[in-house]
Copies of this chain bind each other. A is one copy, B any other.
Amino acid sequence: MLTYELDRNASEALYLQLYRAMRADIERGAIKAREKLPSNRKLAQHLGVSVMTVEEAFAQLVAEGYVEARPRSGHYACEVGHRLGPTVRARAVAALEAAEGGANLGKEPSGCKPIFADFTGASAPQGLFPYDAWARTMRRVLSEESEATLMEAGAAAGSARLRASIAAHLHGSRGMEVDASQIVVGSGVQSLYGLVVQLLGRGRMFAIENPGYPRLERIYRANDVRLGLVGLDAQGPRVDQLERTGASVLHCMPSHQLPTGIVTTVGRRRDLLAWAASDDGTGHGRYLVEDDYDCEFRMAGRPVPALQSLDGQERVIYANTFTNTLGPAFRIGYLVLPPHLARDFHERLGFYRCTVGALEQLTLARFIESGQYERHVNRQRTHFRKVQEALVDQLVASSLAGRVRVNNAGAGLHFLLDVRLKGKAPQLEQQIVAETRSRGVALAPLSDYLFREPAVRLPSFVLRFASLSEGAVQPAVEALEQAMAQVLVHGGDKPAGKQPTV
């Protein structure tokens, strides 16, 4: 039986200590791949901890792809080398997978309503930003900072103080070991991706995920790089497709892929790093751009380690933004460059001035240092979790339950909603979008995120719920029910009695 010394007096929770210890054993092979692990109850008894502690540790190991949960069988260690990785599903999905129910849809005239629920990501969360605290902090910057400090913030990489704050924040929230000298601050990730192209060279081919974020494709195209497309399976971006593109840079979203919601497993992360570390014959090296989208809003357990943390070969350019947490009034993002690229940046692109004003940079630095930023994100996460739980619960309890399936919920601010209907997916999606829109709900179909349509797929929608208020959940689900009923009358097949196996 596995034996670990857990410290009840440590500041770290017992489940985290257990999680770390087991993870280390899996990584170094002390627990072998595919080995069956003890049951929750037995392990708890053996270690003298509560069953809940063991459950939480396993949940985290499962979420990160170190352990696989087989229904009615128990937990098994995963292969975390390069060949095989387990399927990762957030726990919220599991509860839904058994859900089934008959269609019992009412009829409604399709009158036109103003949009009260926007799932497209086009509008921002309302009323969450602590403007008063921000204004107070900014006032302090204005009265206390020397003009020399304000001036220094104009350096290409940004304010030294903000970069130090970000490094500390990444350590605390993400477990990343980063030196401030690796950080480059910029006005949102779009400008920073332009810098990445300038840094790595415009002659390269970049690969992006398909389906993926349309703005990303446009940014790279506007920067005149050749683009390859890489599909995803349940573990993350497919390395075989990546090899075939001939690209030397992959831009990926391992924490929470937009739109699929897939969390790249630890095994696949290692595969990607192995790809990046291998010689492509050009002598210029391969890179991963790790777009750490949504890492702040993982709702179950701790976040999966960043590619950046696992990278021993200086192959990962980490990118993140404060715009998603601070809101659209702010445009601040940053890169974490591997040390050799950080040197390169300062040598070749150090002539640039930082694209974020000093006032904003120094306000954000203090906002992070004082803990206000973390508290703000925690409040947001609590709010978003409530909204998501209400949304998923109501979908499951609704007449849609046998007709739709929630995919990859729990890892961030969106999930995929597949709809079991026969017919051409893009056309069905357009019908449903039109019907929901006339009922005040804006939906984005998966086709909006597909750069290339696969031969066969179900109609699917990307539900970005960040701007949804709790009060809008029920009417939004009702509107979806009515819209679907309307589409069923005029097109599509009859609702099936069982869950689709997508």
Q: Which residues in A have some Cβ–Cβ distance to B below 8 Å?
A: 123-124, 126-127, 131-132, 134-135, 138-139, 142-143, 147, 150-151, 153-154, 187-188, 190-191, 194, 198, 202, 214-215, 218-219, 222-224, 327-332, 348-349, 351-360
Contacts and interface: CB of A to CB of B under 8 A. Distances in A.
Nearest to A124: B151
A10 to B, nearest CB: 40
Nearest to A224: B202
Contact of A194 (B126, B127, B194, B353): B194
A224 B203 CA distance: 10
Number of copies: 2
B358 A329 contact: yes
A470 to B, nearest CB: 17
Contact of A150 (B190, B198, B327, B357): B327
Contacts of A151: 123-124, 328
Contacts of A147: 124, 126-127, 327
A411 to B, nearest CB: 24
A147 B328 CA distance: 9
Given A124-B151, A154-B328, A328-B151, A188 B355 contact: yes
A62 to B, nearest CB: 36
B139 A135 contact: yes
Nearest to A148: B123
Contacts of A351: 214-215, 218-219
B327 A355 contact: no
A469 to B, nearest CB: 13
Given A135-B142, A191-B187, A355 B357 contact: no
Contact of A359 (B124, B329, B354): B329
A138 B360 CA distance: 12
Contact of A191 (B123, B150, B191, B223): B191
20 contacts: A126-B147, A127-B147, A131-B142, A150-B327, A154-B328, A187-B356, A190-B355, A191-B191, A191-B355, A198-B223, A215-B351, A222-B349, A222-B352, A224-B224, A330-B357, A330-B358, A330-B359, A331-B355, A331-B356, A360-B360
Contacts of A223: 198
Given A135-B139, A223-B198, A358-B329, A352 B150 contact: no
A328 B359 CA distance: 9
Contacts of A127: 147
Given A150-B329, A187-B355, A198-B222, 16 more contacts: A123-B151, A124-B147, A127-B147, A139-B139, A187-B187, A187-B191, A187-B356, A188-B355, A190-B355, A202-B224, A222-B348, A222-B349, A224-B224, A330-B358, A330-B359, A331-B356
A328 B150 contact: yes
Contacts of A354: 331
Nearest to A222: B198
A486 B326 CA distance: 57
A110 to B, nearest CB: 27
A146 to B, nearest CB: 9
Contacts of A359: 329-330, 360
Nearest to A359: B329
Nearest to A358: B329
A153 B222 contact: no
A243 to B, nearest CB: 27
A190 B124 contact: no
Contact of A135 (B138, B154, B188): B138
| Residue picked from A132, A138, A187, A223, most chain B C-beta under 10 Å | A187
Contacts of A131: 142-143
A38 to B, nearest CB: 50
A328 B148 CA distance: 10
A355 B355 contact: yes
Nearest to A352: B190
A196 to B, nearest CB: 12
A118 B332 CA distance: 31
A330 B153 CA distance: 10
A363 to B, nearest CB: 10
A354 B190 CA distance: 10
| Residue picked from A147, A202, A332, most chain B C-beta under 10 Å | A147
Q: Which 10 A-B pairs have the closest CB atoms?
A: A187-B355, A329-B358, A187-B187, A150-B329, A331-B357, A218-B351, A131-B142, A154-B328, A329-B359, A330-B357
Nearest to A349: B222
Contacts of A150: 124, 327-329
Contact of A328 (B139, B202, B358): B358
A332 B360 CA distance: 12
A327 B147 CA distance: 9
